[in-house]
Amino acid sequence: MPRVAIVGGGLAGFVAYLTLRRGGVEDVTVFSTEADPAAAWRRRAAAIRQTHMRSESDGHCLPTSFPGLAVREARRRRSLTPLAASVCNRYHPTVESFVGHVEEQRAASGWQPVLERIERVRAVDGGFELDSHGTFEHVLLATGPPGPVLPEELRSDNRAVHAYEPHEYAESVCVLGAGLAAATEWRNALAAGSRVISVRRREPVRRPLNVPREYLTRRRLSGFHRLGREERARLLKELLAPSFPPGSEWDEPLASDRFTVESRVNGADQVICATGFLHGFRHDPLLARLVAVHDLATANGWIELSPDSTVPALTDESRTLAVAGVAAQWAYPAADTLMGARYAAHGFLRRCRTR
């Protein structure tokens, strides 16, 4: 039985763990700094006062897309309404429901990570050495977003707070960004009675999910994978442009005369940076070291991965190094979502089972 390790115990690591268990891989060691796989995500959701998930019924941690959260809720409520809503793409689980699902799975799966941060992954014969924990033949790196983006000019501005940090709303609030976090902050601040100034570099894209749905399946992924490095980097940048869902629940609050769009940060009492996370391996010490030591191929800040999210230079017949989460967007543009976590986990499971 090969030794398998997951570095990172967030949602992507948790999805991979459940997938490996379902696939019959028993000897899985998870390294994490927190026991709760939803801890980091929960803090961020609480910070922006998120009530519903952007994802749909299949935005869950199980290895298969069915049964989804709509089925879970239908069973719990003894109602077909969630299923009907799901069929019409109108079902978005509540944060509470999602967290409850994670708790259930965590309790049922025997999830017990080693509470330690892995600093170094070193390729050795037949596997990878993880700090002093010995050699593992198959390793999945699910280290999560490296940190929030805070514009340089606002670092010393004490009015500034990142959207994913706990905060209240001042009388006038300037929100930087144009993605889901920004849109949520516009609504929150308006509901709190604030005057809201939206500052953004471009008009937000309106779409239901993070990326167009065709890029969630092989339909468009095959073409994406065939693109050359420059073209793929360009398309990835386009696909990852800030977006939030269409719908009156988002549009109606913005019709308020307390909401304006301006081109620069002005004299607002508070500046909320809904500017997302740092992208690219350079901001993640573990990945940066890995790239430097093994001279891995990169493009525009991405580690160049194979379509199944593995690192080609460090994956062969006897071992696998794969990446999940935001750092795996080179292989799967929506890698930072739960579907993306599942995609990487499926690829990783195939490697663990067949090698």
Partner 1 sequence: MSYTLRGRLESRLAALVLPLVVACALAGGLRTWWPIELAGLMGAVGVALDLVYHRPIRYQPGWAALPLGVLELGVLMALVRVLQLHAPLAAALGFFAAAWLWAQALGHALLPFWRLSWSEDGGELGRAGVAVAAAFVLLFAGSGAVWWHGLPPTVHLAAGIHRGPIFIDRRERLVGDGAAVVLGGIVVRHSDVTISHVRVIGGDNGIVVDGAQRVVLDHVSVSRASGDGIHVRHASVTIRHCDIDMLGSQYGQGIDISYGMLQGDSVVERCTVVGGQDGIVAHGSMAMIMHNHVERTTMTAISMTEMSMGMVGHNTVRNALGIGILCGDRSICEIERNAVAGTRRDDATGNKMRAGFGLEVEFGAEAELSRNDLAANPRSMGVFLNSIVRWR
The least CB distance from residue 226 to partner 1, in Å, is 14
Helical spans, DSSP H, in the chain: 11-22, 39-47, 69-77, 81-87, 95-109, 180-191, 218-226, 229-239, 248-254, 285-294, 338-354
The least CB distance from residue 218 to partner 1, in Å, is 4
> What span, in angstroms and rounded, lies between the C-alpha atoms of 33 and 31?
7
Confirm or reject binding of residue 80 to partner 1 (CB under 8 A): no
In terms of Cβ atoms closer than 10 Å to its own Cβ (0-12, 13-18, 19+), residue 231 is exposed
> What span, in angstroms and rounded, lies between the C-alpha atoms of 96 and 88?
22
Picking from 250, 208, 206, the residue whose alpha carbon sits closest to that of residue 54 is 208
Q: Which is nearer to partner 1, 179 or 340 (CB)?
A: 340
Place of tokens 């409520």: 77
Confirm or reject binding of residue 213 to partner 1 (CB under 8 A): yes
How many Cα atoms are found within 13 Å in the side-chain-facing hemisphere of 106?
Answer: 20
Only segment of 2-10, 82-90, 101-109, 142-150 that touches partner 1 (CB under 8 A)? 82-90
The least CB distance from residue 247 to partner 1, in Å, is 15
**CA 27 and chain centroid, separation:** 26
Q: Which is nearer to partner 1, 64 or 112 (CB)?
A: 64
Only segment of 8-16, 141-149, 216-224, 286-294 that touches partner 1 (CB under 8 A)? 216-224
Only segment of 119-127, 187-195, 209-217, 284-292 that touches partner 1 (CB under 8 A)? 209-217
Q: Which is nearer to partner 1, 294 or 350 (CB)?
A: 350
Chosen residue from 21, 120, 220, 282 binding partner 1 by CB under 8 A = 220
Q: What is the DSSP string of 246-274?
A: -SHHHHHHHTSTTEEEESS--S-SEEEE-
Confirm or reject binding of residue 12 to partner 1 (CB under 8 A): no
Among positions 45-74, residues that touch partner 1 (CB under 8 A) are: 58, 63-67
Q: Which is nearer to partner 1, 83 or 313 (CB)?
A: 83
Chosen residue from 222, 256, 266, 318 binding partner 1 by CB under 8 A = 222
Q: Which is nearer to partner 1, 83 or 150 (CB)?
A: 83
Chosen residue from 19, 275, 309, 337 binding partner 1 by CB under 8 A = 19
Place of tokens 């109108």: 90
Chosen residue from 79, 89, 260, 318 binding partner 1 by CB under 8 A = 89
Say whether 17 sits in a helix, a strand or coil: helix
First-last CA distance in the chain: 10
Confirm or reject binding of residue 214 to partner 1 (CB under 8 A): yes
Place of tokens 């109602």: 79
| All residues at 6 or more sequence positions from 355 whose CB lies less than 8 Å from its CB, including other chains | 2, 137, 138, 317, 318, 319, 320
Confirm or reject binding of residue 81 to partner 1 (CB under 8 A): no
* Assigned token pair, 77: 């409520």
Chosen residue from 35, 87, 124, 292 binding partner 1 by CB under 8 A = 87
* Assigned token pair, 99: 């967290």
Q: Which is nearer to partner 1, 83 or 99 (CB)?
A: 83
Only segment of 136-144, 147-155, 213-221, 240-248 that touches partner 1 (CB under 8 A)? 213-221
Binding-site size for partner 1 (CB under 8 A) equals 27
Name the site residues for partner 1 (rule: CB under 8 A). Answer: 19, 22-23, 58, 63-67, 86-89, 213-214, 216-222, 339, 342-343, 346, 349
